[in-house]
Structure 1
């Protein structure tokens, strides 16, 4: 199962999807970015297995992006053919509709339950589309702030609830950011919130990581690249001196060619102060870094060795131009030491755009990842997010 969605943010098209491929056998498991020990210690109530990782969101061409849900083999067959034909000649909304409804494609799909949603751009503008085979369900709803919305997969209800209860980031007036920036910042907030609940998501057979595609500033469809997701605990959140703690995991997403590479950073809780060029920073140790390579569904390579041959030798920059900070209001039980969420307090998300990458820095002494360095002014802003203005 999965989670894919097509919606608009301030009239800007957005396509998101997870990366998990599940199977009926709950004992068949692999480790994934959000659960590096899933194979060793799976949740007791896991009712489906996790058999692989694949991109659900696929950029077929600069004018066509498609997400899929359902049978992996059927999706691979269709998207591989779709890309081959698109490479020869760009699709229009009419030729795309003819492709999906042709007898040839329906014969190829056979009895597989699979569906596709996405956006096509031609001389008539941008239009969302959906196609389903053999009863694969696509939810089509209108959400006032997100427009005509398509959602499919086992995570549909979770995302519908989130979109119906979350107002997307509004453009500033006078406008300081582009429509693209506003759509990206709102989208990473949604995906970051899904990452916060990913332990629960796995029980519903979706998650692992999330991708975003949208219309870029040059008027072409592309994946949103170079994102790091952080989670923070904020205790004494409305006091004079709230406490900010970095939750142990952080996730970095980049693309090398069309392969998604997800880094899972295991962060230490000890930290030290640092001054550079008269600027105050805080340095957090990175205890461990693991990475996962995830191919598009249409990808011709399947063995991991072949996928790695594409990304090997490419220098990796962990410092991101896009950061997403989720702040979790907590309180400690003084007797048991247990942590619980503060009743009535919602999680706050603060996405950040850093074109110069100077606010969050990752150092590689002797080519070994070791520390994350964050400006104190950013930490101060984060920890005071709950204080009443």
Structure 2
């Protein structure tokens, strides 16, 4: 019960994956970032349990990134061994294939189902690979313009539909304004933002919770995309001269600390108010934060002691501006009953941005280490409000 995928954005390698680990017992549940009441109140139709959260995407070194599906213990055994060997002598595509097909690896796995997809860098360049133990299903499909695409897990059909019908990568501008890395990240955020927007349904299919992204960085090494915030907005009167923008539910903030993924969820008052300091109005709006939660999600190849887990993350606060922000905009209108309907013929828009300095928008203030306020510049809110008028 998983979703992992390897594909290309403008010939740039990308690996994504969810974090949900399911189990056969529907009474065994933990809360997860996208559904913080699932332990006490499971959604109708949930026929499996949620045992834990674990990183499916693993960057084992600057030359090797692997995502896994299937049995978690089997994945740990294989990934730990690959990392230990790669630390001593880097794998090539040929030697990695030989390891997966070795009698030793086959004996370790026995009848356990587990699959791996990923990318490796060797003297021949960047190569995509996949390997399946005991016929674990891995879909391989050419999806223009994503190239050769590897997808595995219970969310495969949803992602295939998303890539084929809904989300198409934007073409780089001429002359280029963004690096290949930026373009890969911005487009990947669009895909993961779309997945987060439907995560309530995803959970019923056994995947979700949140999504990770790994790609080739600007130095030519594999790395996780770090420091991301996802926002979801309703835009009403979207074609008028004065559209209205409302936050939907929660914001999700992802950051890696010592290989551990820390996911913060921020529940905010939807109506912003002008930011005033010392009785002087500033060029910002603030959204008071009602509640914040955090989740610590470990990689599969490495064991963390409870003490190590406790020492990482939320205790340090999150007084940072996200490096990347993904804004998902839903065009809505209110019917005669006052209920929300989506505007016919209007698509959801994703606005992904990269911020490089502390003067940028999306600042979370944390007095005493506790998130209290989200601050966004007026011009950034206007940029989002007028998204449907810019076409």
Question: Which whole-Å CA distance do the structure 1 matches of 2:272 and 2:33 have between them?
Answer: 24
Deviation at 1:344? 2.1
Q: Distance in 2 between matches of 1:338 and 1:313?
A: 40
Q: Report the CA distance between 1:318 and its aligned residue.
A: 4.2
Distance 1:387 1:138 in 2: 42
CA distance in structure 1 between the aligned counterparts of 2:366 and 2:249, rounded to whole angstroms: 19
Q: Which residue of 2 aligns with 1:16?
A: 16
Offset at residue 313 of structure 1 (A) = 5.9
Trace 1:222-237 onto structure 2 (pairs within 5 A).
222-237=223-238
- The TM-score normalised by the length of structure 2 is 0.96
2:172 is matched with 171
Report the TM-score, using the length of structure 1 for normalisation. 0.96
CA contact (8 A) 2:145 2:169 kept: yes
Contact 2:334 2:341 in 1 (8 A): yes
Aligned-partner SS, 2:387: coil
**1:239-388 pair list within 5 angstroms:** 239-274=240-275, 280-301=283-304, 304-311=306-313, 314=316, 316-335=318-337, 337-357=338-358, 358-387=360-389
The gaps in structure 2 that reach 5 residues or longer are none
Alignment correspondent of 1:91: 91
Q: Distance in 2 between matches of 1:292 and 1:328?
A: 27
* Contact preservation (8 Å) 2:8, 2:149: yes
Q: Match of 1:213, SS?
A: strand
SS of the residue corresponding to residue 386 of structure 1 reads helix
- What secondary structure does 1:385 align onto? helix
Q: What SS does the aligned partner of 1:29 have?
A: coil
Unpaired runs of 5+ in structure 1? Answer: none
Structure 2 contact 319–365 (Cα < 8 Å) conserved:
no
Classify 1:3/1:343 alpha carbon distance in 2 versus 1 (closer, same or farther; 3 Å): same
Determine if contact 1:259/1:295 at 8 Å carries over to the other structure.
yes
CA RMSD of aligned residues (A): 1.6
The Cα shift of 1:279 comes to: 5.2
For 1:276-302, what per-residue CA distance to the aligned partner results, in whole angstroms no more than 9, with x for missing partners? 79852111001111100000001122x
| Structure 1 residue 26, shift from structure 2 partner | 1.5
Distance change in 2, residues 1:309/1:361 (3 Å): closer
**Contact 2:319-2:366 at 8 Å conserved across structures:** no
1:145–1:117 CA distance, 2 compared to 1 (3 A): same
CA-to-aligned-CA distance 1:151-190 (integer Å, 9 cap, x gap): 0000000110111122102211111110000001000111
Say if 2:231 and 2:327, in contact at 8 Å, map to a contact too.
Answer: yes
Seen in structure 2, the aligned counterparts of structure 1 residues 312 and 158 have a Cα distance that, compared at 3 Å, is closer
